[in-house]
């Protein structure tokens, strides 16, 4: 996999301890990159209103056109799960799946070091195992 650019779109509140970081990888159809980025900005407006959302950043892989990752920080895994159950998330997923994405997104859940269990293993879901 290529390296992601350092330019990020930031949303959220600074300060305080975070408990969970979500990594969401998206492969976008050719020619749909700008539409994906604008859609992400619209989702950020919704995220700003949600309890437990701290910040979200969008990064583009500079080596692979149309490959993006969103890192989203949440106060708790439960707050993120509530977002996944929301109507806003469902409509964003339906739009992206039908119009924008080349493949199914891959999500990873990371917990901050102080939240890891014995042996340092972080909790996770999705298609890949965090290191």
Domain count, the chain: 1
Separation of alpha carbons 54 and 12, rounded Å: 5
Task: Tell whether 46 is covered by a domain.
Answer: yes
Contacts of 111 (CB under 8 A, 6+ apart): 19, 20, 21, 77, 122, 123
Task: Tell whether 121 is covered by a domain.
Answer: no
For 9-58, write each residue's pLDDT tens digit. Answer: 334 333 444 478 889 999 999 999 999 999 889 888 888 888 899 999 99
Task: Tell whether 60 is covered by a domain.
Answer: yes
Check: CB of residue 59 under 8 Å from CB of residue 8: yes
For 83-122, write each residue's pLDDT tens digit. Answer: 889 887 787 777 667 788 888 888 888 766 554 444 433 4
Task: Tell whether 43 is covered by a domain.
Answer: yes
CA angle, residues 109, 114, 115, in degrees to nearest 5: 40
- CATH code where residue 93 lies: 3.30.70.100
Task: Tell whether 6 is covered by a domain.
Answer: no
Task: Tell whether 100 is covered by a domain.
Answer: yes
Task: Tell whether 125 is covered by a domain.
Answer: no
Beta-bridge mates of residue 56: 11, 72
- Domain encompassing residue 17: 11-111
């Amino acid at each position: 996999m290529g390296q992601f650019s350092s330019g990020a779109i930031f949303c959220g509140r600074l300060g305080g301890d975070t408990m969970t970081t979500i990594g969401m990888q998206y492969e976008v159809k050719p020619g749909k990159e700008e539409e994906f980025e604008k859609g992400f900005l619209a989702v950020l407006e919704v995220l700003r209103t949600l309890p437990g959302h701290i910040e979200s950043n969008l990064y583009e892989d500079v080596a692979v056109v149309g490959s993006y990752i969103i890192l989203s920080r949440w106060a708790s895994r439960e707050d993120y799960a509530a977002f996944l159950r929301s109507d806003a998330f469902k409509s964003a997923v339906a739009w992206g799946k039908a119009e924008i994405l080349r493949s199914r997104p891959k999500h990873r859940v990371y917990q901050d070091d102080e939240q890891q269990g014995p042996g340092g293993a972080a909790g996770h879901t999705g298609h890949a195992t965090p290191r």
